[in-house]
Structure 1
Amino acid sequence: MHNSNMNKNMTARIFIVVIILCISIVYTSFTNKMNIVEVFSNKKEVPIYSVETEEKKIAISFDAAWGDEYTNDILDILDKYEVKTTFFLVGFWVDKFPEKVKEIDERGHDVGNHSTSHPYMSKLSEEQILKELNKTGNKIKELTGKEPTLFRPPFGDYNDRLIKVCRKNNYHVIQWDVDSLDWKELGVQPVVDRVTRNVQNGSIVLFHNNAKYVKEYLPLVIEELQKDGYEIVPISELIYKEDYYMDNTGRQHKEKNKN
């Protein structure tokens, strides 16, 4: 009788273990399928880092937040080499240098939005993002008569929410694929080498308008790029505005079979 009870208990335990294993296998299979669906259905948003193009075109850009000491020199150098670029302006820079905003626009350069207070945009709510965009966007429009359509997030910090909000408000979110590292103040030649050795068709280069050596490195960079056959254009002329798709590196591609 004792052995019979033991056998029954053992059988019951084995049965329970088998049931648990079956449930575990079914659950794991289900969650794996759900994860696969999630990966393919919720595509991660990415900003524009560069553009796929057969043309030897690139864009250079200047982020302006903390000073104005070299801006006139930059504009004069760009005029000398007949180059048009893109300036991303923070709201408090616009407030401090409104006449410079007008001059940048009048000299034919893109005036892009770089936020109002230079925050980490991924930490903001949709309402806060809109405030950062609209406050500076409205100031730029008042000064230039043009609504900005390019936005560069401070620190290169973004998330899906930011890109979706920007898209709804007619902004293209712009990053870069070549960082000059001019803010590190390593000297002139390191900036020249870093940029000229890393550009490719469709590159977007990051500079800062108040970098210490900008008056020295900028002419050298432009001369080298032009010698290599690159045409330097504003970002608004480099990127595709419609009929495009993004790969996972942030490189923008023109949709095939469309003009």
Structure 2
Amino acid sequence: MKSRCIKKIFMVSILLLIAIGVSLFANYRYEGAFARVNRKLPIYCVDTKDKKVAITFDVSLGGEYIDKILNALDKYNIKATFFVVGDWVDKNPDKLKEIYSKGHEIGNHSNRHPDMTKISRDKIIEDININEAKIRSITGSGTKLFRCPEGSYNDDVIDTVKKSGYYCIQWDVDSIDWKEQGADLEYNRVIKSTKPGSILLFHNSAKYTPLNLERVIVNLKEKGYKFVKVGDLIYKDNYKMDYDGKQMRN
């Protein structure tokens, strides 16, 4: 009799622990989902049925591959978006002027490439404005696109960028070309991940990028994709963001 009583108490205890565990897990998932929905995000990609994508380059180092990149884009009459760092602009004003003169879009990628989650709002604004002035002095035109250095951001960064009048642009297709792990690996990584509304990320200083850029363009064109600048891909108003950073029409 005593043994049965102990077993019942044991089973009730186990069931109670399971119930508590399920409740905690459900609450954790709910709170996690709520936090994700309410977190401020940059634009990773765009919700669209049209087979259009944007090719982007982060430009912070070197200039030896710029001509090959521009030649590949010219060959297929494609306009891309170049996010430039102010320090690079100082050393390569003629390259920036050439990129812009060919009809490509210029984005602001900060002046000194700091981790913006580790500096104050005032410093973020100062850094962005310095590079904005450099871009404008060379091209004669400003930009409304900004990409965080290293893709690093938090709510304060996104809020500051937005209040400064910029659309904060991330990416959903990363070539990871800066690691230079191999041309085929980088190429396949891009092709497998691209979908309508994607924003593709490359770097101007990666050695396999000029070759892969042309391969990617040919492959995606054969699949019916069109290439547009980021400014022509994103929605400028009446939009919302989902919890993964996809920009959607209201």
Are residues 1:193 and 2:225 paired? no
Q: CA deviation at 1:169?
A: 1.5
Q: Superposition pairs for residues 137-216 of structure 1, below 5 Å?
A: 137-216=132-211
In 2, Cα distance between the equivalents of 1:216 and 1:50?
A: 24
In 2, Cα distance between the equivalents of 1:90 and 1:149?
A: 15
The DSSP-based 3-state class of the residue aligned with 2:131 is: helix
Give the partner amino acid of 2:134: K
In 1, Cα distance between the equivalents of 2:98 and 2:229?
A: 16
- Paired residues, what number? 219
Q: Superposition pairs for residues 39-54 of structure 1, below 5 Å?
A: 43-54=38-49
Q: Superposition pairs for residues 113-132 of structure 1, below 5 Å?
A: 113-132=108-127
The DSSP-based 3-state class of the residue aligned with 1:229 is: coil
In 1, Cα distance between the equivalents of 2:133 and 2:143?
A: 9
Instruction: Give the structure with higher Rg (CA).
Output: 1
Give the partner amino acid of 2:219: E
In 1, Cα distance between the equivalents of 2:248 and 2:122?
A: 31
Correspondence for 2:90 among 95, 98, 108: 95
Give the partner amino acid of 1:249: D
Q: CA deviation at 1:43?
A: 2.5
Are residues 1:241 and 2:236 paired? yes
Q: Which structure 1 segments of 5+ residues have no match?
A: 1-31
The DSSP-based 3-state class of the residue aligned with 1:245 is: strand
Q: Structure 1 segments of 4 or more deviating over 4 A?
A: none
Give the partner amino acid of 2:145: L
Deviation by residue 1:50-105 (Cα, 9 ceiling, x = unmatched) = 00001000011000111100001101110001111100100100000011111111
In 2, Cα distance between the equivalents of 1:211 and 1:43?
A: 36
Give the corresponding residue for 2:221.
226
Give the corresponding residue for 1:21.
none
Q: CA deviation at 1:215?
A: 2.1
In 2, Cα distance between the equivalents of 1:117 and 1:210?
A: 17
Give the corresponding residue for 1:58.
53
Correspondence for 2:245 among 246, 250, 258: 250
Identical aligned pairs, as a percentage?
A: 47
Give the corresponding residue for 1:27.
none
Give the partner amino acid of 1:85: A
Are residues 1:133 and 2:128 paired? yes
The DSSP-based 3-state class of the residue aligned with 2:195 is: coil
The DSSP-based 3-state class of the residue aligned with 1:72 is: helix
- After TM superposition, the score normalised by the length of structure 1 is 0.82
Q: Which structure 2 segments of 5+ residues have no match?
A: 1-26
Give the corresponding residue for 1:77.
72
Deviation by residue 1:113-163 (Cα, 9 ceiling, x = unmatched) = 011111111111111000110000111011111111111111110011111
The DSSP-based 3-state class of the residue aligned with 1:118 is: coil
